[in-house]
Amino acid sequence: AQKITQTQPGMFVQEKEAVTLDCTYDTSDPSYGLFWYKQPSSGEMIFLIYQGSYDQQNATEGRYSLNFQKARKSANLVISASQLGDSAMYFCAMREGPVQGAQKLVFGQGTRLTINP
């Protein structure tokens, strides 16, 4: 079964608009972490934001925020005031298990975001 689902293969957004990238996850482990990575055309994966399953508040990092809805098992990435440089692939990922011990980081299939001028 797919652990991480990103239902939007591609999105087109006008510059300066806000954009929400969807991510739903599946786990029975009470302790897990959710990540978003950005992959520009250069290929490098760039860490954007992290949300722990026990975190009470939604994570924010500059223009990035994570809309964490635990009961719905969703962890959508919100980018405010989009810029042309935001055009890239975006991957949602989940780490299951306690901080100490064997864990795995599982990635979704990604969403290609294109920002139009």
Partner 1 sequence: ETGVTQTPRHLVMGMTNKKSLKCEQHLGHNAMYWYKQSAKKPLELMFVYSLEERVENNSVPSRFSPECPNSSHLFLHLHTLQPEDSALYLCASSQEVWTGELFFGEGSRLTVL
Which phi and psi (to 5°) does residue 42 adopt?
A: -65, -20
Give the interface size with partner 1 as a residue count (CB under 8 A). Answer: 25
Region of 13-21, 38-46, 69-77, 80-88 interacting with partner 1 (CB under 8 A): 38-46
Q: Is 106 in the site for partner 1 (CB under 8 A)?
A: yes
CB of 44 to partner 1, least distance (A): 4
Q: Where are the beta strands (DSSP E) in the chain?
A: 4-5, 10-14, 19-21, 24-25, 32-39, 46-52, 60-61, 64-69, 74-79, 88-96, 105-107, 111-116
Q: Is 81 in the site for partner 1 (CB under 8 A)?
A: no
Binding site residues, partner 1, CB under 8 A:
4, 35, 37, 42-47, 50, 91, 93, 95, 97, 99, 101-110
